[in-house]
Amino acid sequence: MHPIEQFTFEFNIQEDYFECHEVLEELWQAGNRTDESLVALIQLAVARYHHRRGNVTGAMRTYPKAFQKIERHAASITQLGIDATQLLTLKSAFMEPEYRRIHLPVDERLEQRMKTQSLEPLDRTFLIDKHRLRNRQDVIDARQVALKNRGKWKNRP
C-alpha cells in the first residue's frame, strides 16, 4: 500500500494517529525533506494524537502550524488525494476543545482503496498511549550504536 493510502486508512478508519505520523515521517525522510505538504499532514496527525490523549494545549499549539502549511500547500495535498479546500473548512471542528472523530476528506480513489484494506481490531488504550507502550528496542539499539560510533569519531587522532 502506498504511504498516503496507509496514512488516510490509519487516520480515517483505524484512528491510529501515531502510525500516521510514522508512515509519513518515513516517506518524508526518504524523499524531499523540504516537502511541507507531508509535514503538514504529519503535524495534523500529531495534533490529533495529542488531542485524543487529553493534551489539548499541545494539540492547540500544533493544529495552527499544520493548518498554515495545509493552506500554503493545498494544491500538493489535493494532488495526494486529500481535499485540502474541504479540510481547511474543518479547521474549527478540529480546534474544538473536546476531541471528536473527524475524517480527512479524500477523493474517490483513496476512499475505494481504504475500503479494500482489512480492519485490524486495535486496543483503544494502546492507541491512546502508543508512544509509551510500543516496543522501542530497535530505537534504543540504534541510539546505542550511534553513541558508540560517535565515541569512535571523537577518539580519532
Q: What is the CATH number of the domain that holds 144?
A: 1.10.3450
Q: Cell digits for 57?
A: 494545549
Average the pLDDT over 25-32 and give the result: 87
107 is in which domain, residue-wise? 3-154
Return the pLDDT at 151.
66
Number of domains composing the chain: 1
Return the pLDDT at 149.
73
Return the pLDDT at 57.
97
Average the pLDDT over 14-19 and give the result: 91
Return the pLDDT at 154.
52
Phi-psi region of 75 (alpha: psi -120 to 50; beta: other; left: phi over 0): alpha
Q: What pLDDT digit, counting tens, does each position of 50-88 carry?
A: 999 999 999 999 999 999 999 999 999 999 999 999 999
DSSP β-bridge partners for residue 106 = 82
pLDDT exceeds cutoff 60 at 156 = no
Decide if 5 contacts 110 (C-beta within 8 A).
yes
The cell 526518504 sits on which residue? 30
DSSP letter string, 55-70:
-HHHHHHHHHHHHHHH
DSSP conformational letter for 100: -
- List Cα–Cα distances, 152 to 137, 155, 157, in angstroms: 23, 5, 10
Average the pLDDT over 143-147 and give the result: 68
Q: What pLDDT digit, counting tens, does each position of 99-129 carry?
A: 999 999 999 999 988 777 766 655 555 556 5
